[in-house]
Amino acid sequence: MLRLRCKARSGSHALPGLSPHSRLRDMQAALAALTGVPAPAQRLLHGFPPRSLDLSDGERRLGELGIHSGDTLIVEEDTSKPEPDSPVVAKKAMSQPVREAVPVLARRVVPADNSCLFTSVFYVVEGGVYDPGCAPEMRNLIAQIVASDPESYSEAVLGKTNREYCDWIRREETWGGAIEVSILSKFYQCEICVVDTQTVRIDRFGEDAGYSKRVLLIYDGIHYDPLERRLPGSDLPPQTIFPSSDDVVLAQALELADEARRKRQFTDVNRFALRCMVCQKGLTGQLEAREHARETGHTNFGEV
């Protein structure tokens, strides 16, 4: 089934019950029920920047129209469609050229609550759905995958026994990293690209798996945020899922990382100074912080 959403004047709605094999007319009927816009008056926008869908053949399948999981459809009501070849329309188009806004890649900040990786991955793979309560579900999903394959996820891979890892990753104070990104890439069948603001490099998880989709995160040494394309000055939903052939978005991500590096918007995890906000103990680097958290259960740290 396709995970779709629609946005209309009445608000944003989930659009369930459709698959790539569903007909366009079926989707239009579902949209009419959700938004109150009858099928003959619908104008549907899709993609980023949004472009009109061809509604001339209601028998076409959604897969043929390029509609994929994570997409959001914009539903507009057009009660007075002029003929596309009308000379009045053509004259107006010629006399008033329209400048299209250029979409930009930007960071979408999520809370620094030990679960930023899980919140960020959920946001991008779900097409821009922010759910601050998704982390326990994501942690449990990873634990189930690891527990189901102890041979692939052995102590040599995880740094701890399979059972210890599953207990560890379920804890709300545990930070996610490369192992968890790799697992989620396989589960969601998409390439997850993590751009590092300190080194200005991109680590591409699932690069060799042949996935058709790509999502991006930005990482500053201790915190992950999702990346999305936005249309400036518009309230249209952002784009978070890209074709794996879209290398332009990778270049844009590197530009963002380079700008952050020049502004020193990164943390050297091996040397940064921390203070435990529970007992006020001074710490140096990520390893000391994690060891302190393991020994004391304290997980609230502030950078000095």
Domain boundaries, the chain: 4-80, 104-267, 268-304
Predicted local confidence at residue 190, as pLDDT: 94
What pLDDT was estimated at residue 98? 47
> Of the candidates 116, 170, 114, 125, which has an alpha carbon nearest to the alpha carbon of residue 144?
170
Residues in the chain with pLDDT values less than 70:
48, 79-101, 264-275, 277, 285-287, 290, 294, 298-304
Q: What is the pLDDT of residue 118?
A: 95
The per-residue pLDDT for 274 is 67
Put the strands of the sheet holding 273-276 in their side by side order.
282-284, 273-276, 301-303
Q: Are β-strands 191-196 and 213-219 bridged in parallel, bridged antiparallel, or unpaired?
A: parallel
Of the candidates 232, 207, 196, 189, the residue with the CA atom closest to the CA atom of residue 68: 189
- Tell me which CATH code domain 104-267 carries: 3.90.70.80
Contacts with 25 (C-beta within 8 Å, 6 or more apart), sequence order: 39, 58, 59
pLDDT at position 285 is 66
Please state, in angstroms and rounded to a whole number, the distance separating the CA atoms of residues 292 and 283: 8
Q: What is the pLDDT of residue 88?
A: 43
Hey, which residues are catalytic here? Answer: 113, 116, 223, 298
Q: What is the pLDDT of residue 146?
A: 95
Class of the CATH domain delimited by 4-80:
alpha beta
Rounded to whole angstroms, the Cα distance separating 295 from 276 reads 13
| Of 48, 50, 54, 38, nearest in space to 62 by CA | 54
Q: What is the pLDDT of residue 82?
A: 45
pTM for this model (two decimals): 0.60
* AA letter at 281: K
Residue 128 sits at φ, ψ, to 5 deg, of 95, 25
